[in-house]
Every structure is written in structure tokens, then in C-alpha cells.
Amino acid sequence: MSLSPFKLSFLASYLLVGAFVGVLIIHPLNLAVIWWELSRFSETAPNLFEFLSNRLWLLLLPRHLDVAIAYTLVGAIVGLAFGIFTRNYMRTTEAYRSLRDEQTTQIPALMNQGETETVEFKSSLRWDMKEDRINRGLEKVIAKTIAGFFNADGGHLLVGVDDEGEPLGLEKDLSTLKSPDLDAFERTVNDIVSKYLGGDLCPYIHTVFARVNEKDVAMIIIRPAPRAAYLDESRSSVFYVRSGNSTRQLDVREALSYAKSRWN
């Protein structure tokens, strides 16, 4: 695969900077280590500045050209490695940003589509709209829905949306958090999954946000879980699965049969 001129110039700049780093930083650092070792065993050793000055000037002599070349090559290799890492990091960051933007644009379309086997709406995460107060019991409702998606084929849980697909916003939920921002909201979602379903399942959810009619809406993207997700409820483990546009609880026999066919 050929490299574009931009990529070549990008890597070449890191090679060049690395070469200078090798001669002007790595070499003096190596000499400082040598001086430290020498000063430990010799009372007549020169001071660090004098030692470095004498040794660094030797690089200008032809007979020490091989040393200069060696440190130049070491620095260039370090620079090239850092350049490749930086390029890959920038590429990954851009891909993640593009994916996040693409996912965010899906939110209004899913709201218009209505609830389906892979889409569900929730008014809030932990704010009781009827009683106008915080209700942590609603977190378990969120966990139940996520468990249903985990145990099926995944799906999208939209929070801050009423049953008709109209945006309600996240202001009430955010007001219940120590840090009333969207990052804290995302962390709270992860905490709910970790508490009720298991921390090992957190990597299988991802939360994005969008502004719809001047209101924030969250979309929790749930991937199928690699194991059966059980909800801890009243000292027992309950199994939920998505069925149609609702989440259904399975009894012990149904759950064992489903889990056997689903994960074995």
C-alpha cells in the first residue's frame, strides 16, 4: 500500500526531529549516566558541565563520526516510532469521532420510528416524572431494559424521550448528579450496569447524546452480551429478554433453555 505525500512528509518530519533528539538529548543523557557512574568511584572526576562539554565537542571530530551517526539513527528510530504512534492515534480518534457523529444523527430518526424490538424509550434515568422527585428504583428499570437487550440481539435505549417519541430532556436527571453534565450521566449509566448486571458488561454499552428541539436526549447503544445477563432483584437473579417492543421476564426453565441455545 503506497503512502500519500502528506503521510511521507508527516513521518519524515518525525524522523528529522528524532535525529536531532538523538544527538542533542539522548546522547547527553547517556553521557550524564556515564558521568554519574564515574563520579561515584573517582574523587578527581570533573563536574557534570565540564564532562559534557568535553565529550560533546568530540562529535565534531571526524574520528567520532560513527558515534554521531549512531545517536542520529537511534533518535530517528525513536522519532519514526513516535510518528507512527501519533498518526495511528489521530486516525483512531478521527474514526471514533466520525462514528460518534454518525450514531448521534440516528437519534431523531429512531424517535420518529417509535419503539420496536431494538428501540425503547424511557422518560428518565432516575427522576420520577409523576412524583417530581428522584427515584433510584427507576435505575433498576433501566437495568432491566438493558439486560433484555443484552440477552437478545442488542438495541438502543433512548432516555429523555416519552412514549410518543417526544423529547423531554435530561435536565431533571442531570440535577440529581454530583456533576450535572453529560459525562457524569454516562458514568451513571455505567454504574447502573455494573451494579445490577456486572461490571464485565460495561464495555458492551456506549452512550451518545443529541440535541432534539433544544433538549438533550441520551441514546444507550447496547451490544449483545457474551454471557447471560441476570438482574439482581430481591436476593435472586432474574433473566429478561427483549420480545417484540417490550422486555419479558423468563422463568427458570425458559431462562435455562434460552441461555443454552443462545450461548452454547
Within a domain: residue 106?
Answer: no
Q: Quick one: pLDDT band at residue 133, thresholds 50, 70, 90?
A: very high
Within a domain: residue 27?
Answer: yes
Tell me what pLDDT residue 1 has: 44
Residues 92 and 120 both lie in one domain = no
| Residue 79 pLDDT > 60 | yes
Within a domain: residue 157?
Answer: yes
Percent of the chain with pLDDT over 70: 94
Domain residues for the domain of 37 are: 5-99
Residues 126 and 85 both lie in one domain = no
* pLDDT tens-digit map of 32-75: 888 888 888 777 778 888 888 877 777 777 777 888 888 889 88
Q: What is the CATH number of the domain that holds 158?
A: 3.30.950.30
Residues 73 and 122 both lie in one domain = no
* pLDDT tens-digit map of 189-244: 999 999 999 999 999 999 999 899 999 999 999 999 999 999 987 778 899 999 88
Q: Give me the number of domains the chain comprises.
A: 2
Residues 216 and 86 both lie in one domain = no
- State which of 66, 99, 132 marks the end of a domain: 99
Within a domain: residue 186?
Answer: yes
Residue pair 189/202 in contact by the 8 Å Cβ criterion? no
- State which of 99, 133, 167 marks the end of a domain: 99
